[in-house]
């Protein structure tokens, strides 16, 4: 399965490439292909030191969409609409939104768009045949990148296409010790996206380094 990461040279995108590329064919997209290639070289080196092979290619964001079966939108919310407007070819693909619309002032708040959530905004902006799922929302960039530590977190996954959601849950379950949970249709993705400002506040107010979530 080929997984494309739009925004693959951002903090989250780089971390995802590190964890996903030993398991899947990963296509790292960036606005600048040079940066994508640099990320791939660095990731290959890091994994090699740990004795791990990987499958990585550094390309443009558009190429990452074109070449992938599953596209992860590793983009901050404020760039989401503009980035999607600059890309095409999402028809029939499975799209993962880990995007959390939030603001930081004195503390973090969940500030969804009029659609109700980032995932629902993605659904409005992409072709109807694209299968949108929200997943990976609560995993921080530095957790993705801490390759010597397992990711022992629960990952709620929302989506309206059962087959696409099944695939996404399968991807989640193959990464470290992540455990996917079906959290329902895309309509309730706001409840997943608001977990991230919640855990960021909990980390802050309880002086914790990172806070993850487990459902049990």
Q: Nearer to a copy of itself by C-beta: 9 or 137?
A: 137
Phi, psi angle pair for 157, to nearest 5°: -125, 125
Instruction: Report, in Å, the least distance between residue 114 CB and a copy of itself.
Output: 16
Q: Nearer to a copy of itself by C-beta: 91 or 162?
A: 162
Residue 157, both tokens: 């996954």
Q: Nearer to a copy of itself by C-beta: 55 or 110?
A: 110
Instruction: Report, in Å, the least distance between residue 194 CB and a copy of itself.
Output: 5
Instruction: Report, in Å, the least distance between residue 214 CB and a copy of itself.
Output: 5
Q: Is the Cβ–Cβ distance between 132 and 207 less than 8 Å?
A: no
Instruction: Report, in Å, the least distance between residue 202 CB and a copy of itself.
Output: 5
DSSP per-residue letters across 88-118: ---TT-EEEE----EEESSSEEE---TTSSH
Where does this chain bind a copy of itself (CB under 8 A)? 107-110, 152, 156, 181-185, 187-188, 190-192, 194-195, 197-199, 201-202, 204-206, 211-216
Q: Nearer to a copy of itself by C-beta: 46 or 188?
A: 188
Angle (nearest 5°) at CA 40 between 97 and 10: 40
Among 205, 148, 150, smallest CA distance to 179 is for: 150
């Amino acid at each position: 399965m080929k997984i494309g990461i739009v925004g693959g040279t951002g903090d989250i995108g780089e971390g995802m490439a590190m964890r996903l590329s030993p398991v899947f064919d990963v296509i790292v997209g960036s606005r600048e292909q040079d940066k994508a290639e640099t990320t791939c070289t660095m990731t290959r080196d890091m994994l090699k030191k740990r004795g791990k092979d990987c499958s990585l290619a550094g390309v443009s964001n558009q190429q990452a969409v074109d070449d992938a079966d599953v596209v992860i939108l590793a983009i901050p919310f404020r760039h989401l609409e503009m980035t999607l407007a600059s890309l095409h070819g999402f028809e029939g693909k499975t799209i993962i939104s880990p995007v959390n619309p939030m603001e930081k002032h004195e503390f973090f708040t969940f500030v969804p768009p009029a659609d109700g959530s980032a995932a629902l905004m993605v659904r409005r902006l992409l072709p109807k045949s694209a299968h949108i799922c929200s997943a990976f929302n609560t995993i921080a960039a530095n957790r993705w990148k801490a390759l010597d530590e397992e990711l022992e977190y629960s990952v709620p996954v929302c989506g309206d296409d059962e087959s696409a959601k099944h695939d996404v849950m399968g991807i989640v379950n193959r990464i470290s010790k992540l455990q996917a949970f079906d959290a329902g249709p895309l309509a309730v993705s706001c409840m997943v996206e608001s977990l991230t400002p919640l855990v960021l506040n909990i980390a802050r107010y309880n002086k914790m380094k990172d806070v993850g979530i487990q459902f049990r």
